[in-house]
Each structure stands twice: as structure tokens, then as C-alpha cells.
Structure 1
Amino acid sequence: MTARLAEGAAPGGRAATGSIWSRAWSNHAPGYMFLVPWFIGFFGLTIGPILYSLYLSFTNFDLLTPPQWTGADNYVRMFTNDPRFAAAMRVTFFFVLFSVPLKLAFALCVALMLNRGMKGLPLYRALFYLPSLLGASVAIAILWRQIFAGNGLVNQFLTYIGIFGPDSLTGMTAPSWLSNPNYSLWTLIVLSVWQFGSPMIIFLAGLRQIPQDMYEAASLDGASRWRQFWKITLPLLTPVVFFNLVIQTIDAFKSFTPAFIISAGTGGPINSTLFYTLYLYNEAFSFFRMGYASALAWFLLALIACFTAFSFLTSKYWVHYDD
């Protein structure tokens, strides 16, 4: 009897299920049709190339001949027999270690000044945000190369104020910041700090969310502005600091255009500006070692993923949310 009931219920159940799916499709069909171009781009232009690059990272591929499977040889070479890879890692970590904290500190200082309610705040906000829009462009990188050249604006100013005396042949004895390995990377760090507009806007939005009655109560208790910053502003701003830290660090790891333009794609004197992305680009499009470049790209992805995971795991010890 149970079997007969089950047999009798099965067709009705399938019909009911079919009707539910047909009604759902009829209700949402226009939305799915509008999503078809996005699905084509996502799977055809994003997921597909990503998975193919993972396959290429285990091959020897030069764009002209079919890929040859080599296993983990690219990764073994990367960690054991590639001094330029080690140099690129040192330069990139040095750049991230100094550029990100300096940029965030400078952006926070500017946001604190703008948060005082000065006149013309929208104008100042737009002007300070402008470098973030232009800083990653080729034109700004070329302009930066001219500013820090041997006879550039920086050296002319330093000579004018008497820091460097004139030379009989060149007209000045100031160093060429870009051709000196001791200073070349610092010029890129200064360029990165100059692009403080994006984190500054986010810091300013976070400062506007802090209740003013907390500062009034702290002032009545005799707390100085410095103590108010460390005890009220910074703890309540830690979620914004955490967001900016993650975003800016990822952007620093991916920095490419300034190093490529300023060093003419070579990585500067003695690999002093050989960013990881620049080294990856040269391996792929200068030497056509696409398999090895794919392995470099996947290692960079894993490196950024590890940093992001570490940031989220440690955030519970220093990031303070409303609860």
C-alpha cells in the first residue's frame, strides 16, 4: 500500500516541482537574460583565463609553440635559482612597508585638518583627492621622472636654497635621484604617498561618524587634544584604518606604472626599482616566458591572499567595532 501511495504521489510531486521551476523561470527570465552578457564576460574573460594561467604555470610556454608540461619546475626555479625574483621581492616588500604607513598617516593628518569644519571644504576635498585620480597615470609618472631628474625641479630648488652648490660643468652637484640606487625607490614611495586622496576621503567619512559629545565630555574631564586622539578618535576609527590598510597594501603590491615609466621598464639601477609586477611583466612580454610569468602571477595572488587572511585574523585584537 505504501508503495502504491508512493507511486501515485511521484507523478504529482514531479509535476508540482516542475510547475514551481517553470513559474520561477517565467518570473525571473528577463533578469537572467540581462545577466547573460555578464556571465559570458565572467566565465569567458575572467574565470577562463585565470584557470588557463594556472595550467600555464606548470608548463614551458613562449607564445609561439604549444605549451610543454614541466610540472613544478617554474616554482622550483622561482625559489631556488632566480636572483632577480629575490631582488623583486625585497624591493616590493620595502615599498609596501614604507609607502603604506606613510600614506595612511599623511591621509589621516589631512582628514583631521579638514574635519575641523573649514570653509570651502568641498573644494579642498576635491583638490586633495585629485592626485589619487591622476597618480597612477603615465603622464604623472613622466612628470615625476622630470621632477627628480639630475636637472629637475627638486634639484633646482635645493640648489637655489643653498643645499647643493653649483658645479662648473653641470651647473649643480645635487644627486640624480632616479639613477642613484640609494634614492630611486624613495622617489616612488614619495609618489605613492602623494596619492593620499582616496584613504583621506574614507578617513574623513569615518571621522564624521564619531559622536561629538564624546569629545565634549573628554574636554570637561581635562583631556588634551592629543589624549582625545589616542583614547577616542583612533579607537573608534580602527575599522576605517583596517579597511584602508588592506586596500592600500593590495594596491601597493600591484603597483606597476610608476616603476615601469620611471625606470624605462628595466627596474632601475641595480634592480633598485624592480617591482614584482614589473619583473612579471618583463618575464611575460620581454622574454616571452609565459609559463614562468604565470607562476609568478599565482605566487603574487597567494601572497596577497595570505596577507589579507592574516589581516582579518589579527583584526579582532585591535579593531574596535560598535559592539
Structure 2
Amino acid sequence: MEPGNQTPVTEFILEGFPNTREISSLFFLLFLLLYLLTLLGNALTLLTVLCDARLHALPMYCFLGHLSFLDACLSSVTLPKILAGLAGPSGRTISFGGCVVQLYAFHFLASTECFLYTVMAYDRFLAICHPLRYSVVMSRRACVGLAAGTWLTGSLHATIHTTLTFRLPYCGPNRVEYFICDIPAMLKLACADTAANRAVILANIGTVSAGCFLLISVSYAYIASAILKIRTAQGRLRAFSTCSAHLSLVLLFYAPLLFVYVRSYSSHTSDGAVAMFYIMFTSLLNPFIYVLRNKEMKKALRRLRENTQGCPFTTNKITVDKIS
């Protein structure tokens, strides 16, 4: 297709999910409920971390606060537009600039979350394998630096993806066969050869995902070795419980992610059902997994419910004694 003979695209139409037009109201209510639960669960987790001095002072829960904020933002980048599309045909239209912003924000938040899981695995490695050095190595400055590094790296990663995708001309079809502006669906609409783009983007995603997963795997290999050396069964169970929630979240995050992108780039098709699980249910389940599998989070929630005056948003001073 010759781009010079075509009118540049100014807006796109998101096709959404197939075979849902007849029961769009049911899907609208379902997605709205899941979205509200996602916001509520992650907001409650973030508030608990911020309002409890015991959690606020520990790097593990500092990272959990970042994770909750990321999950709330990630669902907000995608679900409101999906809900608008289910509400009516006009809601499926998105401007060219809006599509750029959505793609950038989605990959920024998702890649930042990927890097954050790696940092959280390193934190668990230090806590279990080097407990005497933990407070020195994972100082408050180091914790803030690692958290900031995940956001900066995620921003750089998303900038690369967005630039490679939208440097191509879009001058023909404008119907996106997907429910959001994502790379595989957008490349199908470009008025140019996208083979080089697919190769570079796939290599980029593969390198980042495989690198993070390898670092997480190495961390947990050392953790498993350290846990097996603990003499008592109670001690091994207690050590494992400190990282079981994070391990569950890693599996929930990586399994759909690898399936979606390997399938999308190999067959040039997108699996909406798996992608929806990745976007919606992972963000929804994260706070519940951490609360249900973490005794400190359960205690903090009880303290928050019993003593709302312990929150820094309602008082000028917060102390551990007051909360306890």
C-alpha cells in the first residue's frame, strides 16, 4: 500500500470482544464490578501500607504499595475504554493521540510491574539468605532507589515500544481487532512492512521478560536452598510463607504474558480471553493474595479497622506504640 495515496488515520475503532454485542449489558456490569473490586482491593492495600508504621518501615511492603498503585493504574488504562465500548458504538472510537497514550501507558505500567517483581524477588533473597545484612543492604535509600529505578526503566521500555509502533504510517484501515491499542493489533494496520518492527519489538520484549524471569528464578533457587537448610519444619514453613505470595503473583503475571505475546507475534493473532485475564484478573487477585497469604497484612488490616486515627492522613504524627 502506498502511504502517499491514502488519507492519514486520525482515529481508530476498537472492535472489542467478538460475539458480545447481544449481551453487552451483561458484560458491562461484569467488567464494571471487577473494575470496582480491583480499585477497592488495591486502594485498601495501599492505604494499609501507608497507614501502618510497621509496614511502612519495611521494604517488602513498600514495594507492595508500589505494586498496588501499578495494578490500580493498569486496570484504569484499559477497563474504562472497554466499558465505554460496551456501552455503545461511539465508545469504541479512540483518537490517534489517545491510542498512542493508551499503548504507552499500558506498556509503561506493565513493564514497570515486571521490573518490580524482580526487585521484590531480590528483596526476599536478601531477607532469607542474608538476614544479618538485610537491614544494611536494603536500607531506606536503597529501597527508594530500586523502586524509582523500576519506574524509570519501565518508562524507557514503553518509549521504545511506542516509538517503534507509531513511527510507521497509518493511512488505511482503522478498525483495531482488539479491545485496546496494543502493538500486535496496531502493526496489522500499518501501511508499511512491519517485519523489522516485529523482530525488534519481539526481541526487546523477549530479552526483558526472559531477563527478569531468569533473575527471579535465580533468586528463588538460592531461597529454596536456604530454606532446605533450616533444621525445623516450622522454621522452613515460616521462611517459605514470607515469599509464597510473591511467588504466586509472579506465576500469575508471567504465564498469561508469555502466552499472549508469543502467540501474537508468531501467529499474528491476539488471544483476547487470555489477555483479558492478564489485564483484569491479575490486578484484581494481587491484593487478595497478599492479604490472604500474609499474616502481617491481616494484622495491619485489623489495626486499620480498629484504629483509624493511626493513619498519617488523619494525624500529624504516627508511632508504632500508638498503632499497637
What is the TM-score with the length of structure 2 in the denominator? 0.29
Between Structure 1 and Structure 2, which shows a larger proportion of helix residues?
2
Larger Rg: 1
What is the TM-score with the length of structure 1 in the denominator? 0.29
